[in-house]
Structure 1
Amino acid sequence: MNGLARSSLRFRPASFIGTFVALFFAATVVTACGALLQTGLTAHVPPERYAKVPVVVAADPEAHITVGHGEDRDTESQALTDQPRPATDLAARIAAEPGVAAAVPDIAFPVQAPGTRLPPLTGRNASALLIENPAATTAAPHPGQVLLDRASARAAHLAAGDTLTLTAPGGAAAYRVAGLTGDPRPTAYFADTAAGPLSGHPGLADAVAVLPAPGVGTDRLKEAAEHAVGGRAEVRTGDGRGAAEQPRLAGAREMLTAIGGSFGGVATATAVFVVMGTVALAVGQRGREIALLRAVGATPRQIRRTVATEAVLVAPVAARPACCRASRWATGG
């Protein structure tokens, strides 16, 4: 029967073109949906800004709602549309724990410099300089002063002592350039007391970076932060720091998982029926051939096995290019 199936494919390829096309598109759609689902389930962002900080405290990016009672009790999670922020006073609580060298609130907000050649800047509190460089010794600016990164200052022909007007969500004001930093991104550092009101959400931070005392490991530092937080925020280590750095990751993962799972299920069911119908049509067009095989003694089981073998022989030929194509789509190729 296997030899007969191979002979049918070799000498009558036209009858199997429909089966090949159906299998190709079915495998492409199912593989693409599977790639979306896998990406949603396993997506993570390695930390960049928090790479040198072993522990980061951030607000939970999801809202959790408990419904039902007793055995029907269930908790559903939904990604928040806006970035949740922990209170800045958590930093003082965490810093008071043994083994913690410092707890630095990280505040970020957009800053514009109209009338200058400065690119759009990210405003930050001056103490956040310790996050990317724990050994930083740059003097913190006073109220009314700002620190700029060297690249942006050079592009705008600014130097220490110059004055410029900066606009932030909390208002616009004139600031004197107190110094330059080696930050690789366009950044403006303000006094800690000024950063909160300028951000538009005073009393809140994007996250709190926790720095260890000498000889303190990550596990011990995490326990100290959890004790200070008391469940009011999430304590993140490892790749979880990247999620704190990119809070929109939770919403993106949920969307990819929903699209890949729901559309993938529908596409798989549809593909099964399409392939079945195509194979049935191809078999129906060979009714005389099958009748001749039955006349010479072939059993119904042997006929079914021949048809199944033909499909198995065609499937890898169609699935391989389909999977390659879907992989290129998933990777943006």
Structure 2
Amino acid sequence: MAQVAAISLAAVAVTVAPAAAAELNIYNWGEYINPAVLKKFEEETQIKVNLSTYSSNEEMLAKIQGGATGYDIVFPSVHMQDIMAKLDLLEKTDINTYEGFKNIDPGFMRAKSDPKGEYCLPYAFGSVGIFYNRKILGKDITGWKDLIATVEAKGLKFTLLDDMREVLAVGLILNGHKVNSTDPTELQQAADTIIAMKPDVAAFTYETRAMVQSGDVAAGHFFVGAMVDVLANTADLGYVIPEEGATMYQEDICVLKTAPNKDSALKFLQFYTRPEIAALNVSQQTNGTANVPARQLTPDNIKNSKEINPSPETMQRLQIFEDLGPGLRQLDRVWTKVKTAQ
């Protein structure tokens, strides 16, 4: 009888145990979301947010494909979203049926796998240009050719991103080709152009901001998010979308099929459709936003920045990456040549 009583008490104990607190596990680009946004979400929903970061689309995909199952939300670039859709890694959220989705510019439905926004929510966009130290260079620069001529004349160095597609895109653009080219001849021209730059390149790195600000290098290939540093020190720092052309990125918020907290993830997507939330993120991140009403809520120095919010004419000079499928192997080959060339 005592044994039966013990079992009964154990059952009671289980039924009255408090439910585990709701959580949301976000996997995002490093320093790519305003902590104030996450704090506000936690305060409003009582959902605990855990943030992990990555430095490239490829790193993120490798982690997910490698069996990482704890993440709920990821922020792939458009071409990576298409790749992840092909691999059946993304959950259909129907975020496009939510009332806040009306705030999203239809021009940002760029994912070929998700033209209506049934899966992911457009998050941020921007250019990939040149972040530079005006004090070191002694001038403002207009683009890649100007930068190379200036650093060679003064014996200075610059950095390139440690990113195959972004770096080869610079070479392709400088040779008048499209950034999604898989033509072996065009890619070899691009590789040769980058290899010719290497004596002036201090490193292939993402640590650009600190190196440029300190004056360790004169300039660096980097994202428009570096405008956060420019706006804090306009006397010494600058960012330019190269006159020759550049790439642009767009990251979207996607829920993983393996997400353990799908309800929390959907609540975050809905939360992020609010203009004041998107504007809060932009105010610290200095990226563009697909949320149209949010643009008017950002600080004037961001709202009026031609770097953060390029003119229609400048937007015409920006190209966005696409999923190259098997053609990516052509890029892998020439990238190896670029990285190993002495």
Q: TM-score scaled to structure 1, two decimals?
A: 0.22
**Structure ranking higher on relative contact order (CA contacts 8 Å, 6+ apart):** 1
Flag the structure with larger Rg: 1
Q: TM-score scaled to structure 2, two decimals?
A: 0.22
